[in-house]
Amino acid sequence: MRVAARASVVLLVAGCSQVGGAARNPGNPTPVAAPPATVNAPPSTPGGRAQPGERTDDDSPVPLRPSEAPLVTIADVLTADSLVGRRVRVGGRCEAVGHGARAGSWTLGATGQQVEVRGLVPRPCEPSADLVIFGQVEFRNDAGPGRILLRLPD
């Protein structure tokens, strides 16, 4: 009888041991596997266009400051597919400001071309003053094809 009692105690103690098994959570008796050590990067969208903020293999580091971003023209913003999803600096003049529901939307223009900008409106917004803004080029989703600039803080 004593031998059977000792064997029961040994089995109970061995059943509670964490040696050789997955770590246990006292609140959940079911063992849970640890998360993977690395996570694969998300795939690019169809057509090879990266999502905003996503890097592709040929990308340089994402500019965090305006001084790190390339200076491009409005024509480049409107036509270069390689700029979509990228942060750039663009020069021009503030030509029109949205009001009411369009507040925070304004137009940057230069050499007969214009691009809609969403974000902080320059003070004052005057067609006579040249300016350079820091922004991210994106497709225009709500009003059909085209591009917009999402203005980023300087």
Is pLDDT larger for residue 150 or for residue 52?
A: 150
Complete DSSP assignment for 5-59? HHHHHHHHHHHH--TTS---BTTB-S--PPPPS--PPPPPPTTSPPPTT---TTP
Question: Considering its fold, how many domains does the chain have in total?
Answer: 1
Residue 47 is predicted with a pLDDT of: 46
Q: Report if residue 16 sits inside a domain.
A: no
The per-residue pLDDT for range 56-74, each reduced to its tens digit, is 545 578 899 999 999 999 9
Full domain range(s) for residue 129: 66-151
Residue 2 dihedral angles phi and psi, to the nearest 5°: -65, -40
Q: Report if residue 139 sits inside a domain.
A: yes
Report residue 30's pLDDT band, with 50, 70 and 90 as the boundaries. low
Sequence length of the chain is 154
CB atoms near residue 141 (< 10 Å) = 9
Give the CATH number, domain containing residue 110.
2.40.50.140
Q: Report if residue 33 sits inside a domain.
A: no
pTM: 0.59
